[in-house]
Chains A and B, each alone.
Chain A
């Protein structure tokens, strides 16, 4: 059995907790509750007939008042960067956290999730910027914790990545 620590990194209110709840419990709560510190969830899945237990560290959102602690990222086997498609600034926060994660855990599997895909008509992201990220090797995925689109695939692909380290 593989056990792996996976961090959810992103700005506040981008939907990290909602993505985890959607993946782990299959539910979506339309009520925002800010995460204080860290919530840890466990989810067991199978990758190529091998059991993989993901320990999902749902870390509080980064903002001007609280910075994601380095110690929370230490030891991660992979991470998901989450940005809110309707708030371009959250993409920058996600990329800053990406830099910090690389400095702490090095080159481990990760993906950039552009969440709230159910609100694409309100998205305000620079496509050129996204293309540049893709060109730089960043896996960019669209997800919606609300309707569940892309959520399971994002977590399962990451699980596959960490299990093949």
Chain B
């Protein structure tokens, strides 16, 4: 073979030489003697060749280069790759299997780098896949539940329990034996020569013994049978072994055998299925099998193939009426609870909507944002301090305040009722007159103290919704009292003995005069003003007193008298003066008296 190979190589070299002759310009082949004469001819020939075969020559040169270097450029590979992939896929699935590890690494790398990208790409298929999986799981659960119902409630199950007790088997084993047509309990991949277990899968809830020993013993038995009863070259392993209710089905490949332990009567297709699987195992792990040196871990990759063989078929059974009744009861109960839950939910929703509506309609409350998160509700908005508390409104509507998070900021509503309420809270204090809000004006009617009037006049324009206090219909009680006091004082007369400034006794005693002075003093303070008592003294002019000095002295005497009566007064002062009146008009006692006038000097004088 080695020599034949050399010969081929030699032939190919010759071929290469032929190609060289065609591609090289003729000038390289000419002798030195011909060089000058043939140069122009050669040039022309080369030119002609370029004209005729220019593209082909370039292509040949390219191919020659590719062959000589033995390398393919990315452009070469890209040109043939799609066709090559189509060809390989049409032929078999080796390409997919070869690419699988690379794809797995690529996906792992992608997930590590940016999981969101793959998640976004898979999102459309994840939903259906999950639904399908859940549906399958639910179906299995219902089947198992049905089986459990039947097996725990029926007379038959009692028989099976008795059978399990009698035969020493577990109840599960007895149930399986009666309900399964067949089940592949475990599948072993065994190295054909060494009898070593390469891979092993077991159906759920199947109790197994040491699969290593099973593999070795199966091989030993198979060897023994083959040696004892087989053909001369017969190394075909045992195909089937029956033991009790189980059968061992064996499918052999060149390097490994696949043994399936089957409970019950297997379907005829099982043998074919095992044969296909063992072929696939040989295809996928050809190298690992042929060069097996004891490392069984490398066969983990074929475990999914073995798991596909774990098939089972259950007996179709007519459902017991009891099962239907139980299902009916369960569905009925579930339906009743569901109806109750739905009704409760509707009720809660109605209460909630009613509460929210009441809150929205409540004067002085503005709902800005409602956020429901499960059982908790957050309501944000504005509330006038005069308005009803939102928690109170919602509680009155039947909502549980403990489930509410209320965030209300304070604001002033311009609603008439709220403006009036605000006005009354500030102005309608004890002693206030009758108050009425007309538009944005507070009308006050009746009597009020001077202090109230002053306060109300200042506060009214500061109340949101109010511009001023209308006091035209208002009586200042303090001012009235003051006027009353000075009227009484103005009526007071002091008479003097003739020609002197000695005050005659007068009918009003000093105590009463002092009381009137005190009243005046108090009322000027309450009315926020200051009074001046002007005392004017009269005296008939004489030859000795032409300028009315006596009248002035009389006024001063009266002033001293008043000062003595209430020395601590601060609400007024006293001025003594001559009465500028006409003495002719006085007559009688009137010409030797003093009288008083009271002047109010205005608010803020004190």
Chain A residues close to B by CB (< 8 Å) = 1-5, 37-38, 40-42, 52-53, 55, 57, 69-72, 74-77, 162-163, 165
* New contact pairs (15) apart from A4-B196, A69-B227, CB-CB < 8 Å: A3-B294, A4-B194, A38-B220, A38-B224, A40-B213, A40-B216, A41-B213, A55-B196, A55-B216, A69-B224, A71-B227, A72-B220, A74-B223, A75-B192, A75-B193
Interface residue? B191 (CB, 8 A): yes
Q: Are the CB atoms of B220 and A37 closer together than 8 Å?
A: yes
Given the interface contacts A75-B193, A76-B194, does A5 sit within 8 Å of B216 by beta carbon? yes
Within 8 Å CB of A40, what residues of B?
Answer: 213, 216-217, 220
A160 to B279, CA, bound (A): 33
Q: CA separation between A143 and B222, bound complex, in Å?
A: 33
**Nearest CB of A to B238, in Å:** 12
Q: Which chain B residues lie closer than 8 Å to A53 at the CB level? A: 212
Judge whether B550 is part of the interface by a CB distance below 8 angstroms: no
Q: Assess whether B295 is in contact with A2, with CB atoms less than 8 Å apart.
A: yes
How far is the CB of A72 from the nearest CB of chain B, in Å?
6
Chain B residues, CB < 8 A from A4: 194, 196, 294
B294 & A163 in contact (Cβ 8 Å cutoff): yes
Taking the nearest CB of chain A, how far is it from the CB of B602, in angstroms? 113
- Write out, one digit per residue, whether chain B residues 185-200 have a CB within 8 A of any chain A CB (1) or not (0): 0000001111111100
> Taking the nearest CB of chain B, how far is it from the CB of A25, in angstroms?
14
Which residues of the other chain, B, contact A69 by a CB distance below 8 angstroms?
223-224, 227
| 14 contacting pairs across A/B (C-beta < 8 A) | A2-B293, A2-B295, A3-B196, A3-B212, A4-B294, A37-B224, A42-B213, A53-B212, A69-B224, A71-B223, A75-B191, A77-B194, A163-B294, A165-B294
Does B509 interact with chain A (Cβ within 8 Å)? no
Which 7 pairs, one residue from A and one from B, show the smallest C-beta to C-beta distance? A75-B193, A75-B194, A71-B223, A2-B294, A40-B216, A3-B196, A5-B194
- What per-residue 1/0 map shows which CB atoms of B154-193 lie under 8 Å from chain A? 0000000000000000000000000000000000000111
| A-contacting residues, B325-347, CB 8 Å | none
Given contacts A40-B216, A40-B220, A72-B223, contact A1 B293 (CB under 8 A): no
* Complex Cα gap A2–B293 (Å): 8
Complex Cα–Cα for A72 and B226 (A): 11
Closest-by-CB residue of B relative to A50 is B295
Given contacts A42-B212, A42-B213, A75-B193, contact A3 B223 (CB under 8 A): no
Q: Which residues of A contact B235 (CB under 8 A)?
A: 71
Say whether A1 contacts B295, CB under 8 Å. Answer: yes
Residues of A within 8 A of B226 (CB): 71
Is B568 at the interface (CB under 8 A from chain A)? no
Q: How large is the interface on B (under 10, 10 to 19, 20 to 34, 35 or more residues)?
A: 20 to 34
User: Is B371's beta carbon under 8 Å from chain A?
Assistant: no
Q: Chain A contacts of B220 at CB under 8 A?
A: 37-38, 40, 57, 72
Q: How far is the CB of A45 from chain B (nearest CB, A)?
A: 13
Rounded to whole Å, the gap between the CB of A165 and the closest CB of chain B is 5
Query: What B residues does A52 contact at CB under 8 A?
Result: 294
Q: Does B564 contact A (CB under 8 A)?
A: no
- Judge if B296 is at the interface, Cβ distance under 8 Å: yes
Interface centre among B197, B223, B235, B296 (most CB of A within 10 A): B223
Inter-subunit contact B293/A165 (CB<8 Å): yes
Of B193, B196, B224, the contact of A74 (CB 8 Å cutoff): B193
Residues in chain B near residue A163, CB distance under 8 A:
294
Given contacts A38-B220, A72-B223, contact A55 B195 (CB under 8 A): yes
Q: How far is the CA of A42 from the CA of B215 in the complex (A)?
A: 11
A75 to B216, CA, bound (A): 11
Task: Enumerate chain B residues within 8 angstroms of A38, measured Cβ to Cβ.
Answer: 220, 224
Chain B proximity of A77: nearest CB distance (Å): 6
What's the least CB distance linking B88 to chain A, in Å? Answer: 34
Q: A3 with B197: in contact, given A40-B213, A57-B220, A72-B223 (CB under 8 Å)? A: yes
> How far apart are the CA atoms of A1 and B294 in the complex, in Å?
8
A56 to B296, CA, bound (A): 17
Contact across chains for B212 and A55 when beta carbons are under 8 A apart: yes
Q: Is B297 in contact with chain A by the CB < 8 A criterion?
A: yes
Q: How far is the CA of A70 from the CA of B217 in the complex (A)?
A: 16
B216 CB contacts on chain A under 8 angstroms: 5, 40, 42, 55, 57
Q: Are A1 and B194 in contact (CB under 8 A)?
A: no
CB-CB < 8 A to B192: which residues of A?
A: 75
The residues of B that contact A77 with a CB separation of less than 8 Å are: 194, 293-294
Bound CA span A53–B293, Å: 13
B24 within 8 A of A: no
Question: B18 at the A/B interface (Cβ < 8 Å)?
Answer: no
Collect the chain A residues with CB atoms within 8 Å of residue B198's CB: 3
* A3 and B296 contacting across the interface, CB-CB below 8 Å: yes
Given the complex, which residues of A lie within 8 Å of B197, measured CB to CB? 3
Is B210 interfacial (CB 8 A cutoff)? yes
Chain B minimum-CB-distance residue to A6: B194
Q: Give min CB distance, A44 to chain B, whole Å.
A: 9
Taken together as a complex, chains A and B put the C-alpha atoms of A69 and B193 apart, in Å, by: 13
Determine the chain A residues whose CB is within 8 A of the CB of B194 once the complex forms. 3-5, 55, 74-77
> Cβ of B195: which chain A residues have Cβ within 8 Å of it?
5, 55, 57, 75
